[in-house]
Structure 1
Amino acid sequence: MTIATAKLSDPTVRAAVTAINDGDRQAFVDLLAPGATMSDDGTDRDPQDWIDREIFTVRGHMEVRSESAGGRTLIADYRNETWGEMRTAWHFTVEDGRISHFATGQA
Structure 2
Amino acid sequence: MIATAELTDPTVRAFVAAVNKHDKNAFDALLAPGATMSDDGSDRDLAEWTDREIFTTRGHMDVVEEADSGRSLVVDYRNDTWGSMRTRWEFTVDGGKVARFETGQA
Common fold: TM-score over 0.5: yes
Give the corresponding residue for 1:19.
18
Deviation, 1:52, is: 0.2
Matches within 5 A, 1:1-107: 2-107=1-106
Following TM superposition, by how much is the alpha carbon of 1:60 offset from its aligned partner in structure 2, in angstroms?
0.2
Listed one character per residue, the Cα deviations across residues 61-84 of structure 1 (whole Å, up to 9, x for unaligned) are 000000000000000000000000
Number of corresponding residues: 106
| Aligned-partner residue type, residue 22 of structure 2 | G
Q: TM-score, with normalisation over the residues of structure 2? A: 0.99
Alpha-carbon RMSD: 0.3
Distance 2:103 2:42 in 1: 10
Gaps of 5+ in 2: none
The runs of at least 4 aligned residues of structure 1 exceeding 4 Å deviation read: none
Q: Give the residue type in structure 2 aligned to 1:100.
A: A
